[in-house]
Amino acid sequence: MRIFHYWFALWGIVFRELLRFVKQKERFLSALVRPLIWLFVFAAGFRAALGIAIIPPYETYILYEVYITPGLIGMIQLFNGMQSSLSMVYDREMGSMRILLVSPLPRWYLLLSKLLAGVFVSILQVYVFLAIAWFYQIQAPLEGYLWLLPALMLSGLMLGALGLLLSSFIKQLENFAGVMNFVIFPMFFMSTALYPLWKLQESSAWLYKLAEYNPFSQAVEFLRFAMYAQYNQQAFVYTAVAFALFFILAMIGYNPSKGMMKGKGR
């Protein structure tokens, strides 16, 4: 296999995901409406309760809406990762996943290409969301938007790998909604997406520990620092390790001879 074949396969998978995304306009709108409601509606009530928050990069007081913006970016990527896993379940039921995985290219490369396609779509959604937030004076330093790009790549890969892992366990499309709710909402609410970690510590010791070790919390903190052109090494390492772990388990899950795909005939 030559490098051309790898590039052609990657482009084909990414283009297919983009084409699916363009045709499903409601997917794009729902990806934006959900965080925008949190930003402009729910944030008003939370701000009244919490007042102002402290953001770690500069340890300065900022508006609550600015604080939760990275958490809402993580929400976009989290839901997009789950949507990508839904498409994997659908493709497996339709048989197209079998055609993809029996190609001469390595299985890990094909699964990684699916992840990259989903990450590319999520990044488009994130920057549209940030553009809307900018016009409402919810802004970060300009260099922060450049720093945010590699952070979005890593967080998107980690959350996409989690969705990929879940899709290897879901046997039927009808079971997807229950599994998604079981994963998304605990992961989102037991994180630092909406509240600073010290606020959670004041509320509950066990909730503080759950949020501290939640991979989504670490991804959000990595995004939060990146938006202010800062580097959080702990969050980077934690997110990278979580991505590697989820992706390895997903590869095992999609191995017909060893993983959850065994005996499914797909």
Q: How far apart are CA 225 and CA 241, in angstroms?
A: 18
What per-residue confidence (pLDDT) applies to 101?
A: 66
The answer to whether position 259 is within a domain reads no
Domain membership of residue 258 (yes or no) is no
Residue 61 has pLDDT above 50, yes or no: no
The number of domains in the chain is 1
Does residue 261 lie within any of the structural domains? no
Domain that holds residue 249: 3-253
Give the chain's count of helices (H) and strands (E): 12, 2
Tell whether 15 is covered by a domain. Answer: yes
Rounded Cα distance, 185 and 166, in Å: 15
Q: What is the pTM of this model?
A: 0.83
pLDDT tens per residue across span 188-227: 888 988 888 877 777 788 888 888 899 999 999 999 999 9
Report the b/e string of 96-135 with b at 16+ CB within 10 A. ebeebbeeebeeeebbbbbbbbbbbbbbebbeebbeebee
Q: Are 56 and 221 in contact (CB under 8 A)?
A: yes
What are the φ/ψ torsions at residue 255 (nearest 5 degrees)? -85, 115
Please return the burial class of 95, using the count of CB atoms within 10 Å of its CB with bins 0-12, 13-18 and 19+: exposed
264 is a domain residue: no
Any domain includes 266: no
Most confident of 28-42, 105-119, 157-171, 219-233: 219-233
Displacement of CA 252 from its chain's centroid (Å): 21
Is residue 176 included in any domain, yes or no?
A: yes
Do the domain assignments include residue 98? yes
